[in-house]
Amino acid sequence: MTDFTSLGVKAIRDGVANGDFTALEVAQAFNAAVDAASALNAFIVPTPEQAIGAAMRVDAKRAGGESLGAMAGVPIGMKDLFATQGTQTTAASHILEGFTPEYESTVSQNLWNAGAGMLGKLNLDQFAMGSSNETSHFGNVSSPWRKEDTNAAMSPGGSSGGSSTAVAARIAPAATGTDTGGSIRQPAAFTGICGIKPTYGRCSRWGVVAFASSLDQAGPMARSVEDCAIMLGAMAGFDPKDATSLQMDVPDWESALSSDLKGKKVGIPKEYRMDGTDEAILASWEQGKAWLKDAGAEIVDISLPHTKYALPAYYIIAPAEASSNLARYDGVRYGLRDLPEGAGLQDMYAETRAAGFGDEVKRRILIGTYVLSAGFYDAYYTQAQKVRALVARDFEQAWAQCDLILAPTTPTASFPLGSLTDDPLTMYLNDVFAVPASLAGLPAMSVPAGLNPDGLPLGLQIVGKPFDEQTVLDAGLAIEQRAGFTHAPEKWW
């Protein structure tokens, strides 16, 4: 009997299309795996009946000889930042508890149209703010990975920690993620899976709970590069409901996928060789260069001189936008309402927001309103926007010398849950290599490169030119083929 939970997107889709097994069998197997993995706390709300319903529709279509979509028969996990009609959508915050949208996000709708089904809503850092999945109102997500010889619960990364855990633990073949400053790539790196943040605007933000609108971008998380290419193709596309949506055709990334990098130049940014970066990570970067060279690429040294200013600029711009975006949670329109006896409108706002938002979210709102305040706007917000332009210009200049950039995804491997919660600055440093591509709106992917001496996964990051997801995926495939990363976490849950 096939162990369906070991299969990825392509294997499931093709197996269903060929009649090797039914979509229903697959959905049942993953529903059971989700059920058995509650110790990981990856899901806020499992939706087994939705996975079954979608599977039955696919099986009926196939029986009727109808054509099947790119994700037909594939049950996926949906980050609980995407509004799903009729299913609670919380952004992992108490303030949205009980909020059941009347509408479906464009990205999730695109996936259902392509034949995917929903296993459930995945846990995340509250409002996608965090790097360890410890800011969720619904509890920490535990990585399925453990350091060799210890039982300490490890971080799955954040904010898409439910997504990374579900895919790495084989309780979902793939999941959606969102990436504002690394939230697809960092959790993918921590859990030994692939994840791509496409060019800003490729995936519609409509119906995705907003964090920092000029940075937020959805993308797929899966166990292979090809699975990411397939799923991204289903998620992406112009959407008139999102004013920043790209009016461009979605290329067929899946069929064009090729690991032949002849004629491609890979830039190695010297500024990413930072103090405090793990030896094992530097070694995997060297290994990555050798793999891309072996795939036919030429390696060139480049400079991205404003790299070290990217993270501080991000931690001004993202909270500024968040403070504005989160103003809408007022106790009137969504979820929680805290209205003490005899209280007025202002009290209701204050009580609801005090009770509804978690500490990290409050920290971001405070920073955001501060940097946008009349007295400090120029000193912080305007300055950060100038830095953002310089970071983007660094990349534009680099494209004169190279076609893609190779760097580590993170400065360290995963860490034990709880070990950084009192140290927000070190926590923020997790995204030091991820944030520059976010500020510049560039496509960027993390692919597993190997294990560190503790037996924990490490990721390599590929950053591409605007709209050139193809080269990013191709280089990802070249690394994947050479890394031969077949490790899976040992099952303890």
- Work out the angle at residue 288's Cα, subtended by the Cα atoms of residues 282 and 292, and round it to the nearest 5 degrees: 150
What are the residues whose beta carbons fall under 8 Å from the beta carbon of 105, sequence distance 6 or more? 82, 83, 84, 204, 206, 207, 208
User: Which of 31, 183, 199, 461 lies at the binding interface for ligand GLN (CB under 6 A)?
Assistant: 183
Residue 438 a catalytic site member: no
User: Quick one: which segment of 67-75, 163-171, 181-189, 291-299 binds ligand GLN (CB under 6 A)?
Assistant: 181-189
Answer yes or no: are the C-beta atoms of 16 and 23 closer than 8 Å. yes
Answer yes or no: are the C-beta atoms of 192 and 228 closer than 8 Å. no
User: Quick one: which segment of 4-12, 115-123, 180-188, 273-281 binds ligand GLN (CB under 6 A)?
Assistant: 180-188
Residue 183 a catalytic site member: yes
367 near ligand GLN (CB under 6 A): no
Closest distance of CB 309 from ligand GLN, Å: 16
Taking the least distance from each CB to ligand GLN, the nearer of 276 and 342 is: 276
Element (H, E) at 10: helix 9-18
Closest distance of CB 135 from ligand GLN, Å: 8
Tell me the three state secondary structure of residue 128.
helix
Closest distance of CB 104 from ligand GLN, Å: 21
489 near ligand GLN (CB under 6 A): no
H runs (alpha helix) in 271-403: 279-294, 307-325, 345-356, 359-372, 383-398
Sign of the Cα pseudo-torsion (16, 19, 22, 25, in order)? negative
Residue 79 a catalytic site member: yes
User: Which of 179, 242, 394, 468 lies at the binding interface for ligand GLN (CB under 6 A)?
Assistant: 179
Closest distance of CB 479 from ligand GLN, Å: 22
| Contacts to ligand GLN from residues 193-212, by CB under 6 A | 211
User: Which of 318, 407, 432, 451 lies at the binding interface for ligand GLN (CB under 6 A)?
Assistant: 318
Taking the least distance from each CB to ligand GLN, the nearer of 261 and 435 is: 435
- Work out the angle at residue 69's Cα, subtended by the Cα atoms of residues 64 and 70, and round it to the nearest 5 degrees: 145
Distances (CA, A) of 66 to 17, 63, 83, 288: 11, 8, 29, 43
CB half-sphere exposure, 274, CA atoms < 13 A: 20
CB half-sphere exposure, 195, CA atoms < 13 A: 36
361 near ligand GLN (CB under 6 A): no
398 near ligand GLN (CB under 6 A): no
411 near ligand GLN (CB under 6 A): no
| Contacts to ligand GLN from residues 116-175, by CB under 6 A | 128-131, 158-159
* Residues contributing to the site for ligand GLN (CB under 6 A): 128-131, 158-159, 179-183, 211, 318, 431
Instruction: Enumerate the active-site residues.
Output: 79, 159, 183
